A and B are shown apart, each in its own frame.
Chain A
């Protein structure tokens, strides 16, 4: 069966460091991979989308890589800040980008 795994439930880092979150998938051939941020009690907020033919995408302090051979995506936040503390969700979708499935998320805490 399809499986989307995010490397850990929780990640703690020091302010200013780079946070790296991992998303691995099995029995799946996604055409789209997306990352969302979710704060407690709120809905997810879209951050970045990367397609299967793209290796890397950047947006301000965020960078996403997508390796279809390893079946893995890495999500980086550089120069992390306490305001970056949240749960980050990885989501995959097939060719039409409609049937989107999520990983369980990684809770990031950035300590001052």
Chain B
């Protein structure tokens, strides 16, 4: 039981490049979310999903796309990276009901 697995752990991109941050969970959790964490700003919600085929926007969705084709996977796509997207990205999941989220270990992304 690995929990929430994020890959890669570190990534450097050039402005305008695209990439996908991977997130997988093996706990059969229905709910999954993506957050970014910046110094002094706390964690901000990008997108979330309540189940396969269903996604919704959080507070900072611009510049990011998501899809949820399976219960296990919730990838985050950056279509055209910008320096403002330099951040640490966390994926989280939880099961239905009054439960907290399980977070991955994060992806540190630098856009130059």
Contacts and interface: CB of A to CB of B under 8 A. Distances in A.
Interface of A: 4, 32, 34, 36, 41-49, 51, 89, 91, 96-105
Interface in B25-78: 31, 33, 35, 40-45, 48, 50, 56, 58-59
Classify the interface of chain B: helix, strand, loop or mixed.
strand
A43 B90 contact: yes
Contact of A102 (B31, B40, B42, B99): B42
B24 to A, nearest CB: 14
Contacts, number: 62
A104 B101 contact: no
B71 to A, nearest CB: 15
Contacts of A42: 105-106
B35 to A, nearest CB: 8
Given A43-B90, A89-B42, A101-B45, A49 B100 contact: yes
Nearest to B30: A98
Given A43-B4, A43-B90, A101-B59, 14 more contacts: A4-B42, A36-B100, A41-B106, A43-B92, A43-B106, A44-B103, A46-B100, A49-B98, A97-B94, A98-B48, A98-B50, A99-B48, A99-B56, A101-B45
B40 A99 contact: no
Given A46-B101, A49-B100, A104 B42 contact: yes
Contacts of B86: none
Contacts of B50: 96, 98
A89 B45 CA distance: 14
A47 B48 CA distance: 21
Contact of B45 (A36, A44, A46, A99): A99
A44 B58 contact: no
21 contacts: A36-B103, A42-B105, A42-B106, A43-B4, A43-B90, A44-B43, A44-B90, A44-B103, A46-B100, A49-B99, A51-B98, A96-B50, A98-B50, A99-B45, A99-B58, A100-B101, A101-B45, A101-B59, A102-B42, A104-B41, A104-B42
